[in-house]
Structure 1
Amino acid sequence: MASYEHPGSPDWRGPRGQHMAGTRQEISAAGSDDDLPEPEDLGAPGSPGSHSSMTTRELQEYWQREKGGHRHVKLLFEIASARIEERKVSKFVMYQIVIIQTGSFDSHKAVLDRRYSDFERLQKSLLKAFREEIEDVAFPKKHLLGNFREEMVSERKLAFKEYLRALYAIRCVRRSREFIDFLTRPELREAFGCLRAGQYPRALDVLVRVLPLQEKLTPHCPALRVPALCALLLCHRDLERPLEAFAAGERALHCLHAREGHRYYVPLLDAMVSLAYALGKDFASLKARLDESQLRRPTSRVFSLKELIVREYLY
């Protein structure tokens, strides 16, 4: 049987192909292969391979542009502090997680509070979905005694920082529902609970804080941000801020680009038509999109945007 490394094998890629495969493995092991240009790009028009006469400065500028074009959002995790909290029937350590975007000034750093049991639930859910991928990721073990000692708390701060860093370095994990929910679901549940209770200012405050983090975590799937953006629309609308509501709706529609079958698409368009009409904006094009979508996908029962929102994050 022909070896894959033998020139006679149909899968033999030659020295250059083997080198690129090795490079991919190394980058994947380091965290991500998002920044790696495809092999065919190396000889494409405008690339250094096709412009051997480029000066050193021009080459540097080219690779800077290429790197900027391929780079995914990268986040830095810190455990800023830890505090002991005592409730009527329990005592636990609350860890404050600070998440910032690297490479540029981040005016929307996220600050989250999570306890050991939250991390533990994340670990259990990830083991079910990605056991092989995270087998080398260390998780701080639970101890029967000494969990509140200063030395133990400090040790766990460092351990959880490394734990989050290691998880984020694994592409399939950082894009997983489990990882994203760990970092955003408690805040989203709070926001949607406030919205259901009619506490719109409080809901708005939480949404404004969590949405920037959700955007950084979900560039691969913008539709995941739609419920939160629609909740933002509803809060602004019910607080009689139609301009802000319309802006939130535009962001949500952008996330649903070419996804007419999404359950939020028709209710969102319907809400946007009313807002555009009230604001004196071009509602006719929105109404045309709404009518066209309803003709393509006729249904006997269409929920309003608010009816959809109040069903989100109940559990």
Structure 2
Amino acid sequence: MEEQPELNDIKTVDDKEKLSSHPVDSSQQLETSFTNDVDSDAAFSASCLTTAELQQHWRAVKQEFRSVKLLFEIPTARIIDRTTSKYVVYQIVVLRSGSYDWERVAIERRYSDFLHLHQELLLDFCEEMEDLVMPRKRMTGNFSEENISERRVALQDYLTQLYSLRYIRQSPTFQAFFTHQELKTAYDLLRGGRFSLALEGLQKVLLLQDKLSSHDPTVVIPTLCAILVCQRDLEDFNAAFETGRQALPTVRRYELRHYQAPLLEALVDLGYSLGLPVAQLQEELTRVRNYPHGHMSQMSIKELVVQEFV
């Protein structure tokens, strides 16, 4: 029997500058008119947050008509030979199709991880998966170059077939296969005060979540909040503030009340530290705290973050 999967760090295959995209519809002129304000490093005002929210709205609207297609590659595999165990790990690269993807992020998974994914998906999608075959494990010869190569191709095809089924590709189980191990590692590092390493892992997971969860913008909010905590504890207040600004429009739009007050409180504190005008954010925080209906978290953003994966 194979041992429990080892937590592997995500590796960035190619970390080049991200290409920007612009609307091709009637919203282009409106969105473009705000771009310079958002990109500027000048003093922050509440109108910038309004602009960020507007831009995210246009991106979400366009996304409804343009689904993101992904490709899955397993270009390499390697044998891990330890004193008590020997197994193969497969490198998985997730790519956007249709144009060159500058943000190629790789993870490593064992055959046992694929098997666990298959068994979990069968619990909810037995009928949808009746024609989908999970590559079987051989009784002998698992470490021969030929068998590893054959299984590498078969597992790549298996992921492609899973992704072709809409309900499966949008399921938390499918998405967790690509991010859970790395998120668990990052949150353990964060709770241990190793913020630089935690930040590195979280930022790379964010790239994967952005690719895999285009149908649900809220998936990235816990990760963005954890990134903010790391950046703030590393005293990179400008970066932390920008991360909070990135998360706030989605928190507002989808009424994620569990995060709204802690995120606003963090932005107000960071704004004061940076000497930025935060009066409107403070007013919004007061309104949120006095909201008569629904649950409002009384925890700080850090208290909220450290509860993840406990």
- 1:179-201 superposed Cα distances (whole Å, 9 cap, x missing partner): 00001111111111111111111
Where does residue 252 of structure 2 map in the other structure?
257
Where does residue 148 of structure 1 map in the other structure?
143
Give the 3 Å change call, closer, same or farther, for CA 241–297 of structure 1 in structure 2.
farther
Q: Which runs of 5+ in 1 are unaligned?
A: 1-66
Q: What's the C-alpha RMSD, in Å, of the aligned pairs?
A: 1.8
Where does residue 205 of structure 1 map in the other structure?
200
- Which residue identity lines up with residue 243 of structure 2 in the other structure? A
Higher Cα radius of gyration: 1
Where does residue 183 of structure 2 map in the other structure?
188
% identical aligned pairs: 44
- Work out whether 1:305 is the aligned partner of 2:301: yes
Where does residue 271 of structure 1 map in the other structure?
266
After superposition, residues 283-298 of structure 1 pair within 5 angstroms as 283-297=278-292
Asked if the contact 2:199/2:230 (under 8 Å) is kept, the reply is yes
Superposition deviation, residue 215 in structure 1: 1.0
- 1:22-58 superposed Cα distances (whole Å, 9 cap, x missing partner): xxxxxxxxxxxxxxxxxxxxxxxxxxxxxxxxxxxxx
Secondary structure of the corresponding residue to residue 106 of structure 1: coil
Asked if the contact 1:260/1:293 (under 8 Å) is kept, the reply is no
Where does residue 231 of structure 2 map in the other structure?
236
Where does residue 9 of structure 1 map in the other structure?
none
Where does residue 153 of structure 2 map in the other structure?
158
Q: Give the structure-1-normalised TM-score.
A: 0.75
How far apart, in 1, do the equivalents of 2:217 and 2:149 lie?
37
- Which residue identity lines up with residue 194 of structure 2 in the other structure? Q
Asked if the contact 1:99/1:109 (under 8 Å) is kept, the reply is yes
Q: How many residues align?
A: 248
Q: Which runs of 5+ in 2 are unaligned?
A: 1-61
Divergent runs of 4+, >4 A: 297-301
Asked if the contact 1:79/1:96 (under 8 Å) is kept, the reply is yes
- Work out whether 1:282 is the aligned partner of 2:277: yes
How far apart, in 1, do the equivalents of 2:119 and 2:172 lie?
13
- Work out whether 1:77 is the aligned partner of 2:56: no
Give the 3 Å change call, closer, same or farther, for CA 201–258 of structure 1 in structure 2.
same
Give the 3 Å change call, closer, same or farther, for CA 238–123 of structure 1 in structure 2.
same
Q: Give the structure-2-normalised TM-score.
A: 0.76
The higher-RCO structure (CA 8 Å, 6+ apart) is 2
How far apart, in 2, do the equivalents of 1:267 and 1:68 lie?
28
Asked if the contact 1:139/1:163 (under 8 Å) is kept, the reply is yes
